[in-house]
Amino acid sequence: MGKTLFHKIWDEHVIHEREDGNVLLYIDRHLTHDLHHRLFPLIKAQGLSVKEPDKLFGVPDHSVPTTAKTVDDIPEGEMRDTVVGLQKAADEYGFHHFGMTDDRHGIVHVVGPEQGITLPGITLVCGDSHTSTHGALGCIAFGIGSTEVQHVLATQTLWQRKPKTMRITVTGSLGFGVSGKDVILAVIRAIGAAGGTGYAIEYAGSAIDGMSMEGRMTLCNMTIEAGARFGLIAPDDKTITYCKGRPFAPTGAKWEQAEVYWRGLVSDTDAAFDHEITLDGDEIAPMVTWGNSPQWALPVTETVPDPARESDPLVQADMQASLDYMELKPGMALSEIKIDTVFIGACTNSRIEDLRAAAAVAKGRKAKTRTLVVPGSGLVKKQAEAEGLDTIFLEAGMEWREPGCSMCIALNGDMLAPGERAASTSNRNFRGRQGQGSRTHLLSPAMAAAAAVTGHLSDVRDLMKEERS
């Protein structure tokens, strides 16, 4: 029997397998961000050090205010301490560090692929659940906890149990105004927020083939929201073109060897998956969430669902609790929901393609609500400014910020006030995620920009009728 893509990479990295099925994996590359800075003194106290500093990459992002250009711009206290702490660890142990004054700095899951740190066929970890993002390049990438982070720092290895495998095939092609964000929201709606638990999910099909690398990263980014730690896509010509020439990618003869290996990283035709799901990409519409889980998502053309029509009493109670918190009524058109703040950014949707999509909607229009546009890295910011996207946003009355996680996690000064409602391109709409008492609707960058210029959730296809024709 043939092997899946996941098994091909996994098996190449197994150092030892125990009788209980747990395996010791070699970790090729390790990403760390500012919230991990306290782990370095912990390993030092145990008499340990960073095993392979050349394979460790540090990026301050979670605690960085998007109004700050340097560490000195950060108010004294915990936010500054995390950023300074990571820099001190990099100075002590000699690992790669992209500080705030480095154009390469930004959100860790944007910087990794951008710098060629993320490559097909590798194992990559980070103490952040959205590390699944990197699987879009055809690698095994997953988030780990603090204890596991320390283990990788000290040994460059990690004990893991092999998951089951699931393939989600998205057929057809995506229509106008439909992006990777809409696809993953449709997937999570179909299988549920726990549907991928215990699985590594491989995405395949013509709709996936047609996606850009940015779209694929968005798709894999939110795989964790379906319960799966691993999301990956087989590398193809787009992947290889994307990787070529990036700073930490191989060069010369090593590149040629790598390319040959990468082109073999596909699931064999006779490989067996533990579970298979198929979605029709032609049927996917621009999506928005209405509740407090990414699984509570619907096409923007639909209405708020009625919990009374749900037969499962537990699901019914969950739906009703979400509606109560979100202050929504069954039967209300999603397009009637008014928005207080729009956030375009996060590791899900802050790449150049995302900003271009938002700018296309914002161009020549005025925002009717507070809108934050936050690029995913310093390099994305420079490219957007070179293309004049910042001017479009500013002329529309939107705020153009410095790179960082921003309102996605509300640890850095960017947050909603209690009761405020946001249209957000981030990945989680949990209660309080964007500020205590905040209410979040997840959607794509184009849909977020549409909400900004109309003041309510809107179908971007209607707003952009001329562009569709």
Residue-wise pLDDT tens digits, 429-439: 999 999 999 99
Band (162; pLDDT cuts 50, 70, 90): very high
What are the pLDDT digits (tens) for 168-227?
A: 999 999 999 999 999 999 999 999 999 999 999 999 999 999 999 999 999 999 999 999
Q: For 180, left (φ over 0), alpha (ψ -120 to 50), or beta?
A: alpha
How confident is the model at residue 1, as a pLDDT? 85
Mean pLDDT of 413-427: 96
Beta sheet of 439-442, edge-to-edge order: 399-400, 370-373, 341-344, 421-424, 439-442
Beta sheet of 22-26, edge-to-edge order: 14-17, 22-26, 157-161
Through-space distance between the first and last CA atoms of the chain, rounded to whole angstroms: 48
Closest CA to 76 of 65, 61, 88: 65
What is the CA angle 107-446-138, rounded to 5? 50
Locate the domains of the chain by residue range.
Answer: 5-275, 287-462
Mean pLDDT of 397-417: 94
What are the pLDDT digits (tens) for 380-403?
A: 999 999 999 999 999 999 999 999
Per-residue pLDDT for 295 more than 70?
yes
Per-residue pLDDT for 405 more than 90?
yes
Per-residue pLDDT for 469 more than 70?
no
Helix residue spans in 196-292 (DSSP H): 206-209, 213-221, 237-243, 252-263
Q: How far is CA 374 from CA 26, 113, 442, 468, in A?
A: 35, 18, 16, 27
How confident is the model at residue 466, as a pLDDT? 72
C-beta of residue 132 within 8 angstroms of C-beta of residue 228? yes
Per-residue pLDDT for 27 more than 80?
yes
Element (H, E) at 46: none
What are the pLDDT digits (tens) for 65-116?
A: 999 999 999 999 999 999 999 999 999 999 999 999 999 999 999 999 999 9
Per-residue pLDDT for 122 more than 80?
yes
* Helix, strand, coil distribution of the chain in percent, nearest 5: 40, 20, 40
Per-residue pLDDT for 40 more than 80?
yes
Per-residue pLDDT for 301 more than 70?
yes
The alpha carbon torsion through 297, 302, 303, 308 (nearest 10 deg) reads -70
Closest CA to 204 of 177, 245, 179, 232: 232
Mean pLDDT of 425-452: 96
Q: What CATH number does the domain located at 287-462 have?
A: 3.30.499.10
Rounded Cα gap, residues 400 and 64, in angstroms: 15
Domains 5-275 and 287-462 belong to one CATH topology: yes
Task: Give the orientation angle of helix 213-221 with respect to helix 352-362, to 10 degrees.
Answer: 100
Per-residue pLDDT for 3 more than 80?
yes
Per-residue pLDDT for 467 more than 80?
no
Structure tokens at 107: 């959100």
Q: What CATH number does the domain located at 5-275 have?
A: 3.30.499.10
Say what the pTM is.
Answer: 0.97
Q: Strands 164-171 and 275-280, how do they pair?
A: parallel
Q: What is the mean pLDDT of the chain?
A: 97
